[in-house]
Amino acid sequence: MNARPGDLAHHTLAVLVENKAGVLARVADLFARRGYNIVSLAVAPTSDVRLSRITIVVDVESAPLEQIVKQLFKLINVVEIAQLAPSDAVERELMIATVAIEQERRSQIVELVDIFEGKILAVSPSQLTVSLDGGPQKIDDFETLLSDYEIVEIQRSGRIALPKIGRDVPRLHAAG
């Protein structure tokens, strides 16, 4: 099975950046140039229109976390970086999958979707498109069970995360 964002060799970074054109491209380019592996990446504006939050799940086997943070802080548009441990964060992900299923077995998928509190988005005589949102482990478990069926297409959004209310998370600072 492929590595998933919940694996121990991964860290979640919440990177606050200036909301300007090209910032995401510069972050992605930094990871590509340095050979750092991005496991998951999600970006959206914050409540402050001048800032965006990039949630990056990084593979620390491709480079030490300290090195990744140091390189990120070299980018002029990076305002703040926080490391979000799973125990200190609320994490969510979205998955949408289309599954080929014969009419006789359709109820199995419907039951699985119900158990995981997902949704059926589209139905045809031979396929179902389903969605599920939740923590990374829930998504992993659902995907594992879906693999017993013929998955036509599958897409995961990548992880988004915020600190749990009342938790102090390490705010990382540029060295020097």
DSSP string over 104-156: GGHHHHHHHHHHTT-EEEEE-SSEEEEEEEE-HHHHHHHHHHHTTSEEEEEEE
pLDDT score, position 141: 97
pLDDT score, position 3: 45
pLDDT score, position 85: 85
- Among 166, 136, 95, CA closest to 12: 136
pLDDT score, position 49: 93
Q: What is the mean pLDDT of each run of 10 residues along the chain (176 residues)?
A: 52 93 93 90 94 91 85 92 88 97 95 98 97 95 96 95 83 61
- pTM, whole model, 2 decimals? 0.80
- Write out the two tokens for 96: 């949408």
Q: Which residues pair with residue 129 across a beta bridge?
A: 98, 122
